[in-house]
A = this chain, B = another copy of it.
Amino acid sequence: MVEPVSAFLPLAAADVADVLTDLFLVLLAAKVGDEVFKRIGQPSIVGEILAGVLIGPSVLGLVEPGEVLEVFAELGVVFLLFWVGLETRVSDIREVGRTALLVGVLGVVLPFAGGLGLGAGLGEDAGTTVFLGAALVATSVGITSAVLIDLGVLRSRPSRTILGAAVIDDILAMIVLAVAVGIAGGEGTGAPQVGNEVTSIVVVAALAAAFVAFFALGGTRVMQRWPRLLKEPRFSESPLLPAVIVCLGLAAFAAQIGLAAIIGAFLAGMMVAETKEQHPIEDEVAPLYAFFPPFFFAFIGLELDLAELADAETLGLLALVTAVAAVTKLAGAWLGARSMGGREALFVGVGMVPRGEVGIIVAGIGQAAGVIDAQLFAVIVGMSVATTLLAPPLLRSLRPSPGADGGRAAAPG
């Protein structure tokens, strides 16, 4: 801001000033976007994403999406899913288990097939085609979760189905991505033996499933039996830090074994929820849930590069990819949920559509592997943002009855 100073400042101190300025600008923009969209009756997270587009490289260029902001964005979606986990009981998910499994599996198979068909139809080679399929697979449950909380329907049957399906979806997406990286690597970037790869993928997938089962079933029981693990009663302490440590620990562990960090955070939330009778844990987590998630939504907008999309051919491709991504996911999830009845199945289908940060991450991996070029990267990022912006208004119009939720999930914004 003030030019003459920097001559005396070391890089390190100037960096700190710039990082603080970025954090300030992102939080301010997201809050303004949120308020504006609330006032015009639109979903506030759409306002936060568009605020990110506005201050990002696409329009004003005030903020670049760097490493620190990415970490804040990641913690944003981690605390978002931790909050969702706090509002969810294992029994809620078990009740809808069979439907959630179907939604998860069909919601992966159809988009993957759609992506493969699209790649083949466009005449891409095998590595690019399989990556396009992988990029269309993974749902970003963060976006939908925020809308569900906003609508006060987090504990309704379709919402619980979406949450259960998102866990299945992520495990399958991890396997699909591993296969895609293996094939892309096999095309000449020095991949290990195919036999080793298959073994590793099986091991990793089994580990992921075991992790989810262990913490969802065992972890919650441990917490039920020994709630004082979170609050040692001899000290008049808050259980906040122990709860946050469990959250970060499981998020880190999930990420280390190749799952999304948010799966770990969600499991941690369900575990901590078992001690809710003993502690006012939600009141204490609420400020973290208010502080971090705006960075997540704004960061999605920051990553969009409108200039890369500014020719007719690219826009056409974007429309095509977005349509395939939306229709295949909607159809797959709807098929899986159709036993719930038309309107609720449609709600589940729409709720699975947003690709959010997951699509962007997969596109980045494909670019690093050399099979996704700059145009296709921009298209996949555009598809991720487009599917993310599409879902919230549709979810609002399809809103199910609140069920057992009763608005309990509302938090300070």
Contacts and interface: CB of A to CB of B under 8 A. Distances in A.
Interface of A: 1-2, 4-5, 7-13, 15-17, 19-21, 23-24, 27-28, 31, 35, 38, 67-68, 70-71, 74-75, 78, 177-178, 181-182, 192, 197, 200-201, 203-204, 207, 232, 235, 237-238, 240-242, 244-245, 248-249, 251-253, 255-258, 261, 283-288, 290-291, 294, 361, 364-365, 368-369, 412-413
Contact of A182 (B8, B27, B248): B8
B288 A7 contact: no
Given A27-B245, A192-B7, A242-B31, A20 B255 contact: yes
Given A2-B207, A10-B361, A287-B287, 19 more contacts: A1-B257, A2-B256, A7-B192, A7-B200, A8-B182, A12-B368, A13-B255, A16-B255, A19-B71, A23-B252, A24-B249, A24-B251, A27-B241, A27-B248, A31-B245, A35-B232, A238-B413, A244-B291, A286-B287
Contacts of A24: 245, 248-249, 251-252
A10 to B, nearest CB: 4
B23 A248 contact: yes
Nearest to A27: B245
A261 B9 CA distance: 13
Contact of A21 (B9, B182, B245, B256): B256
A192 B8 CA distance: 10
A195 B196 CA distance: 68
Contacts of A20: 74, 78, 248, 251-252, 255, 261
B364 A201 contact: no
Query: Residue among A10, A21, A200, A240 with the most chain B CB within 10 A?
Result: A10
B368 A10 contact: yes
A300 B201 CA distance: 41
A187 to B, nearest CB: 15
Contacts of A8: 177-178, 181-182, 197, 200-201, 204, 258
Contacts of A11: 368
Contacts of A182: 8
Contacts of A285: 287
Nearest to A39: B235
Contacts of A368: 10-12
